[in-house]
Amino acid sequence: MKKLLFCLAIIFFTGCQESAYEEKAVSGKALGTTYTIKYFSERDLGMERALDSIFKVVNKSMSTYQPDSDISRLNRGDSLVIVDTLFQNVFSLSQQIYSESGGYFDPTVGDLVNMYGFGPEKSLKIIDSTTIDSLMVFVGLDKIKISPEGQVKKDFPEVYLDFNAIAKGYAIDLIGLYLEQQGAKHFLVELGGELLAKGRNVKKNTAWVVGIDDPNQEEDQRTLIAGVQLKDRAMASSGNYRKFRTDPETGTTYVHTINPLTGYPEKSNLLSASVLAENCALADGYATAFMALGVEKTLKTLKDLKKVDVYLIYTEASKVKTYASEGFQAVLVEL
């Protein structure tokens, strides 16, 4: 991953004993979800002001829900936009996942997402093969290039970019970068269920322990199917198991995910994918890619990925089953 460039004050401090660290926490709402940050330090690190700055620049650069953001202007066909380093970093990471997933992770699928009613735009009343074929002409991350100066070149003005499947993870990485620049060695950042952990829980003298949601829970419940020891890694999960349907004839349970290669929703028995990676942007993007790939294609893709581990929850013969890669098995704990 390219070095994250962000204008933050750097203050290092030394000589303090970890036993003297105090647990500090901050929480709130941002990017359409909630966040909680825990860290250990002898002093307050000014998180509120830093978070306001981080969320502001991320929204200004990449929020499709903010009309004056760079990405919204680009999607309206504004060719004069010069995108910032954050945008370029996320685009580069998206290219990596796009390539390694065989196109199943594709931030240009936004028009299709909107068409089916899952994005910021209103869904179309009529969805037929003609409409889908016309939109597919503008799908494909290879139809966009960004110059070193930050100028975006699109093969077609209609190409629609949507970084919502990776921008949240990238924002978490920026928060982690700020904490490290302030000298924090032990922290846990959570934003909308995505996580980044460094060091350990000093108060308990243990690794940070986080959970994976149980797909059998009710809408208003929060039960977990597994615990994970998270250290110096990020974890992101993607899933739509609360929207699954059961075929009345076969009893097979499916979820519907848009296939960016065809433009059509695709039946899948994969209920959720939780991914461990070196940073949260990658974990976030791969989790989305794996949901589109499904179980079998995900397992094939994993063979060529380094430093990526996965925990899959899927259905088979009307039963919920799980798969954990070797690296994921090593950090699973009982709750």
Binding residues for Mg(2+): 165, 284, 288
**3-class DSSP assignment, residue 77:** coil
Cα dihedral sign, 133-135-136-138: positive
Nearby residues of 181 by Cβ (< 8 Å), 6 or more positions away: 8, 9, 10, 11
Angle at 265 between CA 261 and CA 271, to 5 degrees: 105
Binding residues: 165, 284, 288
The number of CA neighbours under 13 Å toward the Cβ of 257 is 27
- In terms of Cα–Cα distance, which of 256, 259, 277 is closest to 325? 277
Separation CA 189–CA 196 (nearest Å):
5
φ, ψ for residue 212, nearest 5 deg: -115, 130
**3-class DSSP assignment, residue 55:** helix
